[in-house]
Structure 1
């Protein structure tokens, strides 16, 4: 099963805080284990007035897309692939465990007097429950299968 959504525009801040535009779409792809939501982000928009600053704003863009399109989708079901000059780079998505929102009933309980250990499994974190970030140092070329899906 493959679903390819239409490309959409997203406005993000450049390093100079000027507005820039990028394009993205969501592609759903089923592998033998699960369905993954691939965020396909095009870094080099031809109508851009100058070189994009998208790589510096990936975290902002990713969180906007997740909040708008992927709220409730599991962290382990999301991928980010950035297209730049016909290259496709697959970036791992991380999250800050300290920012995971507590369940509503936990907010009504009195706070503990000491730090309490908490175990958070990656597949239990969903879009909208934590701030996500892109590990740019771990980016690698997308696999041939992902390239075929996105072309």
Structure 2
């Protein structure tokens, strides 16, 4: 069974540092290996009459939503989908591994860095800042589009 929450507002700064509002909702889609949380962001002139949400604001908007709604949820269980009037595009979510704090407080000494293996299921919402890989966006599947277009 799919769960699609109501649309909510999130405030973010535009390029001139003025407040803007974006509309989003969270959908939970069951899968064989558990549920996937989909952050469904609307990007249309009807929603934000002043200007479309610029690509550069995706990172800020995504981090605000994850911080409010999905803290502690694994990165590999979160998907970011942006809807314009005519299409839905899924963007990969990335993070900067240098933002991770060492788990046990151990820090390397000297000029050598320690190699660390990091898997996406080790990263959770609220632990690091996420960013949207805008170059790797792809149209969503027909099944997911049908689910998300439900109002």
Q: TM-score, normalised by structure 1?
A: 0.90
Report Cα offsets for 1:101-145 as digits up to 9, x if no partner.
333xx23x5x33142111111111111111111000100111111
Task: Choose 71-80 or 122-131, whichever is displaced more.
Answer: 122-131
Q: Match of 1:146?
A: 144
C-alpha distance in 2 between matches for 1:101 and 1:78: 21
Aligned residues: 147
C-alpha distance in 1 between matches for 2:6 and 2:130: 23
- Structure 2 unaligned residues grouped into runs of 5+: none
Matching of residues 107-118 of structure 1 within 5 Å: 107=105, 109=106, 111-113=107-109, 114-118=112-116
CA deviation after TM superposition for structure 1 residue 79, in Å: 0.2
Q: Secondary structure at the match of 1:36?
A: strand
CA deviation after TM superposition for structure 1 residue 32, in Å: 1.9
Report Cα offsets for 1:67-86 as digits up to 9, x if no partner.
11111111100000001113
Task: Evaluate the alpha carbon distance shift between residue 51 and residue 135 of structure 1 in structure 2; reply closer, same or farther with a 3 A threshold.
Answer: same
C-alpha distance in 2 between matches for 1:92 and 1:8: 22
Q: Match of 2:19?
A: 19
Q: Secondary structure at the match of 1:129?
A: coil
Query: Once superposed, what is the RMSD of the aligned Cα atoms?
Result: 1.5
Mapped pair 1:8 → 2:26: no
Q: Secondary structure at the match of 2:81?
A: strand
Task: Evaluate the alpha carbon distance shift between residue 47 and residue 5 of structure 1 in structure 2; reply closer, same or farther with a 3 A threshold.
Answer: closer
Contact in 2 for aligned 1:43/1:84 (Cα 8 Å)? yes
Task: Evaluate the alpha carbon distance shift between residue 67 and residue 101 of structure 1 in structure 2; reply closer, same or farther with a 3 A threshold.
Answer: farther
CA deviation after TM superposition for structure 1 residue 100, in Å: 1.7
- Structure 1 unaligned residues grouped into runs of 5+: none
Structure 1 residue runs of 4+, over 4 Å off? Answer: none
Q: TM-score, normalised by structure 2?
A: 0.90
Instruction: Give the counterpart of 2:120 among 119, 122, 139.
Output: 122
CA deviation after TM superposition for structure 1 residue 54, in Å: 3.5
